[in-house]
Amino acid sequence: MATHDKRYVIIGNGIAGTTAAETLRKLDPNCSIHLITNEPYPLYNRVSLPRFLQGVLPEQKVMIRDFAWHEQRRICLLTETLVTAVNTDERVVVTESGQHFPYDALLIASGGWAKPLQVPGAAGTKHIYNFVTLDDTKTII
């Protein structure tokens, strides 16, 4: 049977997913690593968002990694890419746009999410926001 370098796919580029990618690269210089996020940014500090909202911290101080950091480590970062399915029989991750990413090992580091407010009157009411992402914060600002 032909052997190949190990293929890792990580869903979510928060602190968990990005640290896992960094660690994998340190341990295995030859593996392929796809790090997939539906957000448009490399890793940023979610814990800093309240201070960014307050205007105490500029956006650049919220960012932890940039795209070059991933390139230097040959971590293939795919932003604005929503994973919609995982086929565990065939070991393939599928994205909204129909891309397929085969894997030998998969990490789902998709974090947590806030549910939309579900109380009478909330549906369709403007200016009700979640406060989870950098883009949420920019919208609130």
Ligand X SMILES: Cc1cc2nc3c(=O)[nH]c(=O)nc-3n(C[C@H](O)[C@H](O)[C@H](O)COP(=O)(O)OP(=O)(O)OC[C@H]3O[C@@H](n4cnc5c(N)ncnc54)[C@H](O)[C@@H]3O)c2cc1C
* Footprint on this chain of ligand X (rule: CB under 6 A): 11-17, 36-39, 46-47, 49-50, 82-83, 109-112, 131-132
Report the residue closest to ligand X, judged by CB: 111
Q: How far is the CB of 110 from ligand X (least distance, A)?
A: 3
Nearer to ligand X, 28 or 131 (CB): 131
**Taking the alpha carbons of 57, 59, 63, 69 in that order, is the dihedral positive or negative?**
negative
Q: What is the DSSP letter of 114?
A: P
Nearer to ligand X, 5 or 117 (CB): 117
Q: How far is the CB of 124 from ligand X (least distance, A)?
A: 24
Q: How far is the CB of 53 from ligand X (least distance, A)?
A: 8
Nearer to ligand X, 11 or 25 (CB): 11
Nearer to ligand X, 32 or 62 (CB): 62
Residue carrying structure tokens 């997939």: 36
Q: How far is the CB of 90 from ligand X (least distance, A)?
A: 18
User: Cα separations (Å) of 131 from 5, 7, 28, 51, 64?
Assistant: 40, 34, 36, 12, 19
Neighbours of 129 (CB within 10 A): 13
Bridge pairing between strands 92-95 and 100-102: antiparallel
